[in-house]
Amino acid sequence: MNRITLSDLVAPTAIKLHLKSNDRDGALLELVELVPDLDQQPEARQTLFRALQEREQLHSTGIGDGIALPHARNALVGLVDRPVIVFARHPTGIPYGSIDSVPARLFFLLIAPTVTLHLGILARISRLLRDLKLRQLLLTVDKPEKVIAALREAEGRV
C-alpha cells in the first residue's frame, strides 16, 4: 500500500471549525453532513450515521487528549469509492466517553472503502495526533486550508 497522506484525504469543504452540537449524536450528524461524496444521498448519510452510532455504543472512539476518531466498525463497502476524512472542531468540547474523560474538541471522521485502508488511515491519524504541536495548531487555526497545511506539515515530521 502506498504511503497514506492524510492531508490529501481532507477537502476544505469537509472541515468545520465550529461544531454547534453539544452532544455526541449531534456532533456525529454534523460530521456526516460534511461528507462530500454523500451530499446528495440522504439514505447513505443515514446509513453512515447509524453505523457510527453503533460503533460508539460498542466502545467510544474518544481516544483522549480531547480527540475523537468516529468511524464505523467495518469499512462501509459501496458507500464511498475512496477514503474520506472529515475534520471538525468544537469550541469547548463534548462529553464523549473518552478514557481520560476529557471532552472531545477535535474530531476526525473516517470513511474508507476497504478494511485495509480503514485500518491504515486510523493508525496514521493516531500516530500524527501524538504530536502536541499539531493538536495545538488544530485548536487554533482559523481557516480550513490551515487545517490541511498543519496536517501536511506534521506528516513531514513523521
Which positions are catalytic? 71
Alpha carbon distance 132, 138 (integer Å): 10
DSSP β-bridge partners for residue 84: 111
Per the listing, cell 472531545 goes with 104
Strand order across the 84-94 sheet? 15-16, 84-94, 104-111, 67-68, 62-64
